[in-house]
Chains A and B, each alone.
Chain A
Amino acid sequence: MVNRWAAALRFTGIGFYIGGCIAGGVYLGVWLDDKYQKSPLFTLIGLGLGLFIAFYGTYRMLKSALGQGNDKDDH
């Protein structure tokens, strides 16, 4: 029973991680934009960074959570 909750919480955590990274990146971009008045350039950079960190982190987390059986074949 406790395994189901742990797995569910871990996946919910991944969801919050994606949302938080993207929101954080965009918020940082918007704040820098307001400070330096360079139309949406910083927003885009912040968004790109946020997206990249979010998806790369998801890939790493899922790889460790799901790929425990796949690293043992022989090439």
Chain B
Amino acid sequence: MARLSRWQKIGLITLVALLLLVLGCLYFPVPKPHVELAPEKLWTPGGFPITNTMITAWLTIVVLGLLCYFATRRMKLVPTGLQNVVEYAVEMLINFTENVAGKEHGRKFFPVVATIFIFVIANAWLSLLPGFMSIGFWHGEGEEQVLVPLFRGANTDVNVPLALALISFVFVEYWGIRSHGFLRYVRKFANVGRLFSGVRQVMRGHIRSGMGSIFNGIIDAFVGLVEFISEVVRIVSFTFRLFGNMTAGEILIFSMLFLIPWVAALPFYGLEVFIGFVQALIFCGLTLVFLVIAVTPHEEH
């Protein structure tokens, strides 16, 4: 082959790519995306439905377990190979935790927070492998056939982000109660101290200061109620942030593949990788921030 100039090489590569693209569009057509928000049940052994997201979550657990087993098999003091990679990841996580939460609390918050991060990111990245949402069983007949996929990313099921949000909520409340005591922590939300002292002052005869205290007391109680509601709404917000990001990313990739097969989905695949990482970081980071808020001593007046 003669020496081709730079432009001829670029032209040749572009031509080959275009040819592959056209052949791909002709011989492997992509079906219209069929979106279902609820995960599809595959089998029901003994009345217990097994959905495809459940299978993927189990797959994630197996993959993480195998990774940790192989990383800690022959542990050396100076790590090499797989142990090095896993130690690097753990070190980044604990640096992040200690930066946000301080040294002494960081170590105590680390297990649950790091597990949430690793679980979410493993689910999100595993669902990008080929075979997810494309291999499955055909249900229906004739023209109405619908593919029920065998593997579906575990974060696209509302139950998984909901479970993680509940775990995070219970963990935050547990640490709040443990570091403040039950009564003082509840008093953060039901802040009726000043209200009662105001009523007591009015009954003793100091009308003006009593009314001032009652007024401030009502504001305090209201603020406490709003904080309590915001604690509970946090569960909904965590759930839908993770669920929405993952489902929207998956639908986006389907639509892009349907529009221009092979090519248009590539930048969105990169975006999905990045978004998986960012959402895991957000979930873990927000849990940390709320833990720090729950644990810091409340200033007394």
B129 at the interface (CB under 8 A from A): yes
A40 touches B130 (CB 8 A): no
A40 touches B136 (CB 8 A): yes
Residues in B whose Cβ lies below 8 Å from that of A40 = 135-137, 150
From A5, A39, A44, A75, B78 is in contact (CB under 8 Å) with A75
Q: Is the interface of A mostly helix, strand, loop or mixed?
A: helix
- Cα distance A75–B9 in the bound complex, in angstroms: 45
B33 at the interface (CB under 8 A from A): no
- Cα distance A26–B28 in the bound complex, in angstroms: 13
A22 touches B130 (CB 8 A): yes
Contacts A39-B137, A75-B78 hold; do A44 and B131 have CB atoms under 8 A apart? yes
Contacts A5-B9, A39-B137 hold; do A44 and B150 have CB atoms under 8 A apart? yes
The contact string, 1 if C-beta is below 8 Å from chain B, for chain A 12-47, is 000000000010001000000000000110011001
User: A6: shortest Cβ distance to chain B, in Å?
Assistant: 12
A53 at the interface (CB under 8 A from B): no
B135 touches A44 (CB 8 A): yes
From B9, B80, B135, A43 is in contact (CB under 8 Å) with B135
- Cα distance A22–B132 in the bound complex, in angstroms: 13
Residue of A nearest to B137 (CB): A39
User: A41: shortest Cβ distance to chain B, in Å?
Assistant: 10
From A5, A26, A75, B130 is in contact (CB under 8 Å) with A26
- Cα distance A51–B80 in the bound complex, in angstroms: 25
Residue of B nearest to A16 (CB): B20
The contact string, 1 if C-beta is below 8 Å from chain A, for chain B 114-131, is 000000000000000111
Residues in B whose Cβ lies below 8 Å from that of A5 = 9
- Cα distance A44–B9 in the bound complex, in angstroms: 38
Residue of B nearest to A5 (CB): B9
- Cα distance A47–B136 in the bound complex, in angstroms: 12
A47 touches B78 (CB 8 A): no
B135 touches A51 (CB 8 A): no
Residue of B nearest to A27 (CB): B28
Residue of B nearest to A1 (CB): B6
- Cα distance A59–B213 in the bound complex, in angstroms: 70
User: A53: shortest Cβ distance to chain B, in Å?
Assistant: 13
Residue of B nearest to A22 (CB): B130
Residues in B whose Cβ lies below 8 Å from that of A43 = 135
Residues in A whose Cβ lies below 8 Å from that of B137 = 39-40
Residues in B whose Cβ lies below 8 Å from that of A22 = 130
Which of B78, B80, B131, B135 is the most central at the interface, judged by chain A CB atoms within 10 Å of its CB?
Answer: B131
Contacts A39-B137, A40-B136, A40-B137 hold; do A47 and B131 have CB atoms under 8 A apart? yes
Binding site for A on B (CB under 8 A): 9, 78, 80, 129-131, 135-137, 150
Binding site for B on A (CB under 8 A): 5, 22, 26, 39-40, 43-44, 47, 51, 75
Q: Which 7 A-B pairs have the closest CB atoms?
A: A47-B131, A40-B135, A22-B130, A43-B135, A40-B150, A39-B137, A44-B135
7 contacts between A and B (CB under 8 A): A5-B9, A40-B135, A40-B136, A40-B150, A44-B135, A47-B135, A51-B130
